[in-house]
């Protein structure tokens, strides 16, 4: 990763930029959709994030944690959008989360899998906002605890408590003890 960032910063490498885009655009899109209702708006915000990344590419050699850096850009872009459009509420209940990828299966397997995914999505959507965000950042996007805690403005211990709460709630829905 560091080599890609160096190529982008020092050589303005378009292949390095494309590599970052393909590595991060889907994750950033899912993150932004949690805050805005429209996937079109989220796509525009993703473009804004990567435009900002390109504009500030010379500073990338100084970045020690790129994941936190790009999520911070996304956070500021969505907050600016929400502020500019005077959108004060975010309906996270309309944001589905897909955690599983399908492989070749029978129609019965697909139906059972779809039911399980729907149940899991419903369980996640019933979580309080902070627990839901913590779960999505750590479990879906693979963000490190420290980075997710910093992003959410909470301590690592609080993040761990939020994740423990989320897992207990999800396990309870699936009758797992």
Q: What is the pLDDT along the chain (177 residues), one digit of tens a residue?
A: 778 888 778 888 888 889 989 988 988 888 888 888 788 888 999 999 999 888 888 888 888 888 888 888 888 888 888 877 764 444 444 444 443 434 444 555 455 556 767 777 777 788 888 888 888 888 777 788 888 888 888 888 988 888 888 888 877 776 655
Spatial distance between the Cα atoms of 151 and 145, rounded to a whole number of angstroms:
10
State the virtual CA torsion across 170, 130, 91, 118 in degrees, nearest 10.
Answer: -20
Spatial distance between the Cα atoms of 177 and 97, rounded to a whole number of angstroms:
23
Q: Is the pTM of this model over 0.85?
A: no
Question: Which pLDDT score, from 0 to 100, does residue 113 have?
Answer: 56
Under a CB-based contact definition with an 8 Å cutoff, are residues 54 and 17 in contact? yes
Spatial distance between the Cα atoms of 167 and 28, rounded to a whole number of angstroms:
23
Question: Which pLDDT score, from 0 to 100, does residue 59 have?
Answer: 86
Under a CB-based contact definition with an 8 Å cutoff, are residues 134 and 152 in contact? yes
Spatial distance between the Cα atoms of 8 and 69, rounded to a whole number of angstroms:
15
Domains (ranges, CATH) in the chain? 2-84 (1.10.1740.10), 99-173 (1.10.10.10)
Phi, psi of 137 (to 5 degrees): -65, -45
Determine the distance from the C-alpha atom of residue 5 to the mean position of all C-alpha atoms in its chain, rounded to a whole number: 21
């Amino acid at each position: 990763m560091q080599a890609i960032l160096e190529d982008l910063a020092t050589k303005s490498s378009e292949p390095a930029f494309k590599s970052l885009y393909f590595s991060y655009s889907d994750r950033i899109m899912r993150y932004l959709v949690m805050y805005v209702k429209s996937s079109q708006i989220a796509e525009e915000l993703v473009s804004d994030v990567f435009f900002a990344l390109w504009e500030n590419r010379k500073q990338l050699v100084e970045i020690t944690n790129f994941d936190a850096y790009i999520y911070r850009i996304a956070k500021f872009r969505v907050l600016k959008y929400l502020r500019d459009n005077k959108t004060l509420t975010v309906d996270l209940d309309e944001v589905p989360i897909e955690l599983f990828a399908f492989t070749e299966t029978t129609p019965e397997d697909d139906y059972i899998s779809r039911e399980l995914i729907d149940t899991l999505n419903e369980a996640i959507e019933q979580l309080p906002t902070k627990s839901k965000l913590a779960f999505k950042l750590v479990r879906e996007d693979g963000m490190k605890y420290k980075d997710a805690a910093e992003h959410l403005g909470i301590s690592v211990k609080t993040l761990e408590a939020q994740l423990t709460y989320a897992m207990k709630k999800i396990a309870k829905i699936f009758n797992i003890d």
